[in-house]
């Protein structure tokens, strides 16, 4: 399992998306700088406020070469000026201030994990673009908004407003299973595990794979909780580590679990203490 450590990275990054929302404060005087998150819904230039929006990174163009972003790359600036995001592999956080069309990001904190070569290659180029100087931003679209960030060197980053994923019909790939009452805490699944859930609203059911065997059950959703019926599974035998992970996962069923969706992430916490984290399958 990768170790995470906080690193300080100086980003002029959020030289970026905050710009449109800076002037979001209707009471601010023209030309004043401000910390993002103190106000209304439009900027000094009249463009839409981009705070509180989950921006999915689409692509990055540097020196004329365009690179598609990993599905995990995103940027979000809260109404209070708190910034969160993902470079493609590692997550980062900071605070943002805006002065006109310039956005300044305070000292950033990022994780230090290693991912596949493609993700790390994009992350390296993305972080360099964000830390290479001030960026300017342009927002277009009335429905699904698009945000373009441009560096002084001419690199461009395209982002799209992303709504939260639906519980239903989405393939939720399980990444960790844990027991809130156990010393072992939360553990990632074995690399060979194929564990996922798909909820069907019309049928009131859930189906998927528990790691080794297929699984299905009734699933009733109400008031932020899911009541799972008894699981029906196939009877295959797999590697001992897979079977152990599967048994832990199946404790989620035959009971009620609170759930929360954060865009591409789903968390489940059952009344018996079983915790499950899942993401949208790429």
Which residue in this structure is represented by tokens 């990275």?
9
- What percent of the chain shows pLDDT beyond 70? 75
Task: Give pLDDT, residue 250.
Answer: 96
Question: Is beta strand 214-222 parallel, antiparallel or unpaired with respect to 205-211?
Answer: antiparallel
The whole-number average pLDDT for the span 40-66 is 74
The whole-number average pLDDT for the span 178-201 is 79
Return the higher-pLDDT residue of 181 and 214: 214
Of 56, 30, 57, give the one whose Cα is nearest residue 43: 30
Q: Sorting pLDDT into bands at 50, 70 and 90, what band is 106?
A: low
Task: Give pLDDT, residue 254.
Answer: 97
Return the higher-pLDDT residue of 57 and 10: 57
Tens digits of residue pLDDT in 207-225: 999 999 999 999 999 999 9
DSSP element (H, E) containing 119: helix 117-131
- pLDDT at residue 229 is higher than 90: yes
Tens digits of residue pLDDT in 245-259: 999 999 999 999 999
- pLDDT at residue 206 is higher than 90: yes
The whole-number average pLDDT for the span 78-85 is 82
Return the higher-pLDDT residue of 185 and 223: 223
The whole-number average pLDDT for the span 93-109 is 70
Separation between Cα atoms, residue 278 and residue 196, nearest integer Å: 8
Burial class (CB in 10 A: 0-12, 13-18, 19+), 69: buried
Q: How far apart are the first and last CA of the chain?
A: 21
Phi, psi (rounded to 5 degrees) for 122: -65, -45
Q: Which two tokens mark 85?
A: 């995001």
Q: Sorting pLDDT into bands at 50, 70 and 90, what band is 102?
A: low
Task: Give pLDDT, residue 181.
Answer: 61
Q: Where are the beta strands (DSSP E) in 111-171?
A: 135-140, 146-151, 156-161
**Residue 235 CB neighbour total at 10 angstroms:** 7
The whole-number average pLDDT for the span 97-124 is 80
Task: Give pLDDT, residue 37.
Answer: 34
Which residue in this structure is represented by tokens 């600036």?
77
Task: Give pLDDT, residue 100.
Answer: 56
Mean pLDDT of the chain, nearest integer: 79
Return the higher-pLDDT residue of 114 and 67: 67
Q: Sorting pLDDT into bands at 50, 70 and 90, what band is 192?
A: confident
- pLDDT at residue 238 is higher than 60: yes
């Amino acid at each position: 399992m990768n170790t995470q450590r906080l690193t300080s990275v100086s980003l002029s990054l959020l030289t970026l998306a905050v710009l449109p929302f800076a002037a979001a404060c209707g009471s601010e005087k023209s030309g004043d700088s401000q910390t993002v998150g103190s106000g209304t819904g439009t900027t000094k230039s009249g463009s839409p406020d981009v705070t509180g929006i989950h921006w999915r990174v689409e692509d990055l163009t540097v020196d004329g070469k365009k690179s598609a972003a990993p599905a995990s790359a995103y940027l979000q600036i809260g109404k209070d000026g708190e910034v969160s995001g993902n470079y493609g592999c590692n997550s980062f956080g900071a605070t943002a201030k805006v002065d006109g069309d310039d956005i300044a990001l305070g000292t950033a904190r990022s994780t230090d994990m290693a991912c596949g070569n493609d993700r790390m290659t994009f992350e390296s180029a993305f972080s360099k673009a964000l830390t290479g100087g001030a960026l300017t931003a342009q927002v277009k679209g009335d429905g699904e908004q698009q945000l373009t960030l441009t560096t002084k060197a001419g690199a461009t980053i395209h982002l799209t407003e992303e709504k939260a994923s639906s519980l239903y019909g989405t393939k939720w790939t399980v990444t960790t299973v844990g027991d809130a009452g156990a010393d072992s805490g939360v553990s990632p699944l074995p690399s060979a595990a194929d564990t996922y859930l798909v909820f069907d609203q019309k049928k009131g059911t859930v189906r998927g794979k528990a790691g080794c065997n297929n699984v299905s059950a009734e699933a009733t959703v109400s008031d932020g909780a899911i009541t799972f019926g008894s699981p029906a599974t196939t009877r295959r035998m797999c590697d001992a580590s897979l079977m152990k992970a599967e048994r832990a996962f199946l404790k989620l069923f035959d009971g009620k679990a609170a759930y929360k969706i954060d865009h591409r992430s789903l968390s489940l916490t059952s009344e018996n203490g079983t915790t499950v984290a899942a993401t949208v399958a790429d």
